[in-house]
Structure 1
Amino acid sequence: MAYVKVPKDLTKVKTKVALNMTKRQLIGFSLAGLLGFPIYLFTKNFVSTDVAMIIMSIVVLPILFATLYEKDGLPFEKHLLYILRFHQSRKIRVYKARSIYNTEKVNHLYITENTGKISKARVKNENTKTNNIKRRSKIGKR
């Protein structure tokens, strides 16, 4: 009796269209053949056959690489797009958080360091507070 191995992760299994190749591979190899063969025929008239083969290989290899390359389930063009976006983005990432508890309309409790007294105040801008005042929430210690 014949046994067939079934992979555990079926997401990596790709449908084969023809000649045991995927649609992407068929398009890539066809494009490489349609571009490489005429280049070889055109250049062998001017240079030797060996040099014409090398020129054809240099032209066709990037197409074959883009056809066959896949990293983390992403094809070459998507992976290249992510790399280009990363290098064009800002390198310094600024952390900005918006607190749902920090609004302009809420009364805040403050305690001064010198006297220890608690006072209520309405603050419109966080930058206007002085250094000798610590902000305390209503829920916190009183």
Structure 2
Amino acid sequence: MAASYISVPRDLTKVKSKVMFNLTKRQLICFGLAALIGVPSFFLLKTVVKVNTAVMGMMVIMMPFFFLAMYEKNGQPLEVILSHMIQAIFKRPKIRPYKTDNYYDALLRQAKAEKEVENIVRFSQKERSGKQKVHNAGRADQGRAESGKGSHKKSTEK
């Protein structure tokens, strides 16, 4: 008797569960969509053009679905790769300068902000104390005026 060996992949993350006909769920869905769109398009094209041209048209219509089902690079399916390409080409700016956040500059910005806050607080305290002095001075003037009136009354009464 000869010993038979079964190959086991080393990286188990690359193993995909097969659902039916040794195809994954993703592949079954994509092939089903390709058939749902491709077969009716063949019959519609066959009424207008020759059968060979209709078959070629059906293949062109079905090819994107086959690529979506089968193509994979670095563990990423085709739509993920396409979305990365679209972001890199169209959405993100072409020139992305490298910007660093210097720790010393951050400390200087923080110190400047703290100094500004301190100046605002000091100014508001001066403003409050100035208003209180004016208010207190007004009270003192009123008190002097009243005491002056009282002393004037007393002097006239004598």
Question: Percent identity at matched positions?
Answer: 41
Supply the distance in 2 between the matched residues of 1:27 and 1:21 (Cα, whole angstroms). 10
Q: How many residues align?
A: 107
The one-character-per-residue Cα deviations of 1:85-131 (angstroms, maximum 9, x if unpaired) are 1112122222222222332239xxxxxxxxxxxxxxxxxxxxxxxxx
Find the counterpart in structure 2 of residue 101 from structure 1.
Answer: 104
Question: What is the aligned counterpart of 2:29 among 7, 27, 33?
Answer: 27
TM-score computed with the length of structure 2 as normaliser = 0.62
Gaps of 5+ in 2: 113-158
Supply the distance in 2 between the matched residues of 1:47 and 1:100 (Cα, whole angstroms). 70
Supply the distance in 2 between the matched residues of 1:96 and 1:33 (Cα, whole angstroms). 50
TM-score computed with the length of structure 1 as normaliser = 0.69
Secondary structure of the structure 2 residue equivalent to 1:95: coil
- Equivalent residue letter for 1:34: L
- Equivalent residue letter for 1:4: I
After TM superposition, list the pairs within 5 Å mapping 1:33-44 onto structure 2: 33-44=35-46
Instruction: Kindly name which structure, 1 or 2, has the bigger radius of gyration based on alpha carbons.
Output: 2
The one-character-per-residue Cα deviations of 1:19-57 (angstroms, maximum 9, x if unpaired) are 100001000100001111111112212221111101111
Between Structure 1 and Structure 2, which shows a larger proportion of strand residues?
1
Supply the distance in 2 between the matched residues of 1:30 and 1:16 (Cα, whole angstroms). 16
Find the counterpart in structure 1 of residue 8 from structure 2.
Answer: 6
Find the counterpart in structure 2 of residue 92 from structure 1.
Answer: 95
